[in-house]
Structure 1
Amino acid sequence: MADVPFGFSAGDDPERDKRKNDPGAGGDPFSGFPGGGEFDMSQLGQIFSKLGEMFSGAGTAMAGGKSTGPVNYDLARQLAASSIGFVAPVPEATTTALADAVRLAETWLDGATALPAGSTRTVAWTPTDWIDNTLETWKRLCDPVAEQISTVWASALPEEAKAMAGPLLAMMSQMGGMAFGSQLGQALGKLSREVLTSTDIGLPLGPRGVAALMPEAIEAFADGLEQPRSEIVTFLAAREAAHHRLFSHVPWLSAQLLTTVEAFAKGTKIDMSGIEEFAQGFDPSALTDPSQLEQLLNQGIFEPKTTPEQTAALERLETLLALIEGWVQTVVADALGDRIPGTSALSETLRRRRATGGPAEQTFATLVGLELRPRKMREAAQLWDKLTQAVGSDARDAVWQHPDLLPSASDLDEPAAFIDRVIGGDTSDLDSAIEQALEEARDNERGEDGPASPQ
């Protein structure tokens, strides 16, 4: 996978800024066209025509299925299935054993958390099953970023260029969807053999209430460990069940995660240096070979750059993921600690797996520029543990009633003040959020009814 996330630049370019401020250094983004200097619309039209021919031909060859939206998911599904190859069905005995492990874990979890069981059935997935059952969620995660990327560069083009481009803009969006779909398919094919459960990356990827474990990946994971396989399976079953308790009984949580991803996407801004460099060095004759099309797209001609809005959204996502993972670790340790001696070691193994940037984190970073790496997971687990000791599991879990009651990123570094607020029953954050919501509702009503008439 590429080191730089798909569609995102690596950062600021001092040389680019120098070129922009120096008219003699190619400040005109179209100065590289034949003839130089002045922007020749007729030459742009010839280039668009040539590109249109190439995109049309390559699109016919690459589609492999219909494309709707900013990502060609048919292509992604086909490539993922192709990379997986043949997989044998999970034996019924394995499915039964996993269901028994989840049932046992649920019983133990009942004594460690006030949140009731969230899973209604247990399944054993093959890699192909994982693709089929999580693709809808991947669409919700990838579409906002892919759509923003596919439209933001077009909106940055000069009006003259838009008028000349005509159908080419739609063609390029289609080709972008193919490129994104191709990358998604390859990544998900690899990821489907790595994940251990449906919630392994901290997101509710599968259907609600379905506890899903991956026997093939669990077997590979257990090979490098000294603990008995039965304990490893029960530990992973408890983590899956704990995640489902949180996602099923904290109704705002799933939506908050997806909203944060969308906020990241909406913060995307175009990096005009991609258009500048493309215009300055573009040679239409180089496009006579369709095989160069994918290489052209992968060069990131129209690259957005990370913005302060995206940085803020990323921090919110990292904090929320850390809180989820820290809570699960705390609850599972309480439920299993006295029953399975290896619980602490297994928790540390998974924490390191996430902290070092496992395949799941790398996949998501490559696809949409977001890292699903909860950098403060250890701090979050310590906060939940201390809070449990201070107020008990019921009051601890009541913190999930509203997002404004959750610890902030700064609370993870200094948990004492947050614990004091919970002990004191401080709900000022929640009261403030409710008041703000009411004020916004009143503003909306005034806006719909028009200005208030004078008394």
Structure 2
Amino acid sequence: MADDDRDPSDFEEMLRRMMSGGQVDPEALRDALSGMGGMSMDPSQMSAFMSQMQGMFAGDPWQSARQQALHIANRDGLGIAGGARTSLVDAFGLANLWLGEATTISELASAPQAMTRGEWVEATLPVWKEIADPVSTSIADALTDALETQVPPEMQSMVHGAGQLMRGLGGSLFAAQFGQVLGRLSLEVVSGGDVGIPVLPAGTAAVIPQNIADFGEGLEIPEDQITLYLAVRELAYARLYRHAKWLHLHVLSQITDFARGVTVDIEALEGLASRLDPTDPEELRAAIEGGALLPQQTDSQREALARLENLIATIDGWVDVVTEEATSRLPEGARLAEAARRRRAVGGPAEDALGALVGLKLRPRRLREASAMWRAVTDAVGTAARDALWDYPDIMPLASDIDDPSSLIARLEALQRGETPEADEFDEALARLLDGETPDSPAPDSPGEDDRPEDDRPEGDRPV
């Protein structure tokens, strides 16, 4: 069939082929866009077709993601066995008693929960959506730009409304992939804090009994000990986030700031379309989930990632130390702690979900150093002074304290003796500000800017 005689239904079929199993076929997309130049379709036909296609993608793509995630999460049943629920309630009760001896941070206001996998999906989806939305928008924008750059000038007016269609298509693509990842994630996580970021509301503690057996696979440790250890660790996370009310927003804002800087690599998108087999959706899914469309990180993103890793390590390190103290009576507590650390170090559940789809690869690279810092602080000044470091964001340990906690310990010991710690640069700057000096004000005993000879002043500051 000649291009001039092409039936509009051919183009419709091309767009339909772009959605194969809920996934976009990049080669079909390329063929559809490149074929638009020679296609004869009057504006009324195009308008009707675009309206039809827009209707397909007009809904909330995240509702589709939720449905896909729940389909995977609930495939092995919806409920929790009565015995498992009772065992977890007992474990949480004992965990609270043990934590009372290991930390001064108070108990939660609400009771901890036994969650099903599906309930975990429902409870955490708002946070995942907040993290992933910027990348979803970036993918949608890339598809829209591809449409605008590949359509010939004579077709621009006819496809004026196609931008919204492609935006919806891109959002649907990303949400579909994310829903599948989130569903698989629900089969792995054992608790709210397991992914290393606060995906549950602050002050909420939850364990997923359906996944406890997999956590203990190969350890040959009684399941009641595993359940108790996980309950202690989860409660420690939840207590910390409830106590430090600023911490939840602090972590998520750093993650979303990073995600907003993620863009789609257009060259990678074109290369992907040229080498993928459109009849093999599994290969395409693997390529998308593997981050093939995401460019290399920028310097600013690498710096943001380093800051975030230090923050996550500081949180996890505190949880590690508190959990270790609280589970000292547990016969296999040390082995369970090592298993939990190794699980995170080799790539925890969050790494696959965030790394592949959002470009954020979170690994607690400095977890052992952060744990060592918290142990040193505890040995030097005790539990109460250690936990007080979470009272305000400006007094929590910094990355430099993980490197060398001696200055932090010296400051805390001075406070315990009733001494005024030696002022650092920040303290001195704050004192000058409170004294009414502006950052540009000269020090009282130093010559001012205008005391310099005229020839030494910047040209713009010299008298005319």
| Cα distance in structure 2, aligned partners of 1:45 and 1:416 | 73
Using the TM superposition, give the Cα deviation of residue 172 of structure 1 relative to its aligned residue in structure 2, in angstroms. Answer: 1.7
**Alignment equivalent of 2:68, drawn from 79, 85, 99:** 79
**Alignment equivalent of 1:355, drawn from 338, 345, 365:** 345
| Cα distance in structure 2, aligned partners of 1:312 and 1:54 | 46
Instruction: Give the stretch that moved more between structures: 177-186 or 146-155.
Output: 146-155
Post-superposition Cα deviations, 1:191-215, rounded to whole Å, max 9, x if no partner, equal 1111111111122222333321111
For the 8 Å contact 1:55–1:175, the answer to whether it is kept is: no
Q: 1:52 to 1:191 in 2, by over 3 A?
A: farther
Using the TM superposition, give the Cα deviation of residue 335 of structure 1 relative to its aligned residue in structure 2, in angstroms. Answer: 1.5
The SS at the match of 2:205 is strand
Q: Given the alignment of the two structures, is residue 256 of structure 1 paired with residue 246 of structure 2, yes or no? A: no
| Cα distance in structure 2, aligned partners of 1:322 and 1:420 | 22
**Alignment equivalent of 2:335, drawn from 320, 345, 351:** 345
Unaligned segments of structure 2, at least 5 residues: 1-32, 415-420, 440-464
Post-superposition Cα deviations, 1:101-127, rounded to whole Å, max 9, x if no partner, equal 112111111121121113511221111
Post-superposition Cα deviations, 1:226-280, rounded to whole Å, max 9, x if no partner, equal 322222111110001000111101011110111101221233356453588699x
Instruction: Give the stretch that moved more between structures: 231-240 or 167-176.
Output: 167-176
Q: Given the alignment of the two structures, is residue 209 of structure 1 paired with residue 199 of structure 2, yes or no? A: no
Q: 1:335 to 1:79 in 2, by over 3 A?
A: same
Post-superposition Cα deviations, 1:283-330, rounded to whole Å, max 9, x if no partner, equal xxx99x9x99x88x9598975542222112111111111111110010
Query: Which residue in the other structure is 1:310 paired with?
Result: 301
Q: Given the alignment of the two structures, is residue 221 of structure 1 paired with residue 215 of structure 2, yes or no? A: yes
**Alignment equivalent of 1:121, drawn from 94, 100, 111:** 111
Give the letter aligned to residue 248 of structure 1. R
Q: 1:427 to 1:303 in 2, by over 3 A?
A: same
Q: 1:91 to 1:413 in 2, by over 3 A?
A: same
Give the number of equivalent residue pairs: 389
Q: 1:421 to 1:170 in 2, by over 3 A?
A: farther
- Cα RMSD for the two superposed structures: 4.3
Give the letter aligned to residue 83 of structure 1. I
Aligned pairs (5 A) from 1:106-185: 106-118=96-108, 120-151=110-141, 166-185=160-179
Post-superposition Cα deviations, 1:83-117, rounded to whole Å, max 9, x if no partner, equal 23251411344323212211211111112112111
For the 8 Å contact 2:190–2:207, the answer to whether it is kept is: yes
Using the TM superposition, give the Cα deviation of residue 182 of structure 1 relative to its aligned residue in structure 2, in angstroms. Answer: 1.1
| Cα distance in structure 2, aligned partners of 1:147 and 1:103 | 44
For the 8 Å contact 1:146–1:180, the answer to whether it is kept is: yes
| Cα distance in structure 2, aligned partners of 1:228 and 1:107 | 21
| Cα distance in structure 1, aligned partners of 2:434 and 2:265 | 39
Give the letter aligned to residue 396 of structure 2. L
| Cα distance in structure 2, aligned partners of 1:316 and 1:437 | 27
| Cα distance in structure 2, aligned partners of 1:114 and 1:173 | 50
The SS at the match of 1:202 is coil
For the 8 Å contact 2:195–2:349, the answer to whether it is kept is: no
**Alignment equivalent of 2:354, drawn from 360, 364, 388:** 364
Post-superposition Cα deviations, 1:422-452, rounded to whole Å, max 9, x if no partner, equal 434467477479789999xx99xxxxxxxxx
Instruction: Give the stretch that moved more between structures: 88-97 or 175-184.
Output: 88-97
Q: 1:326 to 1:302 in 2, by over 3 A?
A: closer
| Cα distance in structure 1, aligned partners of 2:307 and 2:179 | 28
Aligned pairs (5 A) from 1:392-403: 392-403=382-393
Using the TM superposition, give the Cα deviation of residue 57 of structure 1 relative to its aligned residue in structure 2, in angstroms. Answer: 6.9
Give TM-score scaled by structure 2 length.
Answer: 0.71
Query: Which residue in the other structure is 1:7 paired with?
Result: none
Q: 1:435 to 1:276 in 2, by over 3 A?
A: farther
Q: 1:278 to 1:242 in 2, by over 3 A?
A: closer
Post-superposition Cα deviations, 1:388-412, rounded to whole Å, max 9, x if no partner, equal 1111111111222333333333432
Q: 1:258 to 1:239 in 2, by over 3 A?
A: same
The SS at the match of 2:245 is coil
For the 8 Å contact 1:404–1:429, the answer to whether it is kept is: no
Q: Given the alignment of the two structures, is residue 191 of structure 1 paired with residue 182 of structure 2, yes or no? A: no
For the 8 Å contact 2:87–2:224, the answer to whether it is kept is: no
| Cα distance in structure 2, aligned partners of 1:55 and 1:278 | 26
Q: Given the alignment of the two structures, is residue 336 of structure 1 paired with residue 327 of structure 2, yes or no? A: yes
For the 8 Å contact 1:80–1:188, the answer to whether it is kept is: yes
For the 8 Å contact 1:119–1:241, the answer to whether it is kept is: no
**Alignment equivalent of 1:237, drawn from 228, 231, 236:** 231
| Cα distance in structure 2, aligned partners of 1:435 and 1:46 | 74
| Cα distance in structure 2, aligned partners of 1:320 and 1:155 | 36
Aligned pairs (5 A) from 1:269-348: 269=263, 271=265, 273-274=267-268, 298=288, 303-337=294-328, 339-348=329-338
Q: Given the alignment of the two structures, is residue 67 of structure 1 paired with residue 56 of structure 2, yes or no? A: no
Q: Given the alignment of the two structures, is residue 247 of structure 1 paired with residue 237 of structure 2, yes or no? A: no
Percent of residue pairs bearing the same amino acid type? 35
The SS at the match of 1:130 is helix
Using the TM superposition, give the Cα deviation of residue 150 of structure 1 relative to its aligned residue in structure 2, in angstroms. Answer: 3.5
Q: 1:350 to 1:276 in 2, by over 3 A?
A: closer
The SS at the match of 1:111 is helix
Query: Which residue in the other structure is 1:24 paired with?
Result: none
Post-superposition Cα deviations, 1:147-185, rounded to whole Å, max 9, x if no partner, equal 344347768978x99976632222222111111111111
| Cα distance in structure 1, aligned partners of 2:40 and 2:377 | 67
Aligned pairs (5 A) from 1:407-418: 407-418=397-408
For the 8 Å contact 1:51–1:168, the answer to whether it is kept is: no
Give TM-score scaled by structure 1 length.
Answer: 0.72
Q: 1:422 to 1:120 in 2, by over 3 A?
A: same
Give the letter aligned to residue 77 of structure 1. R
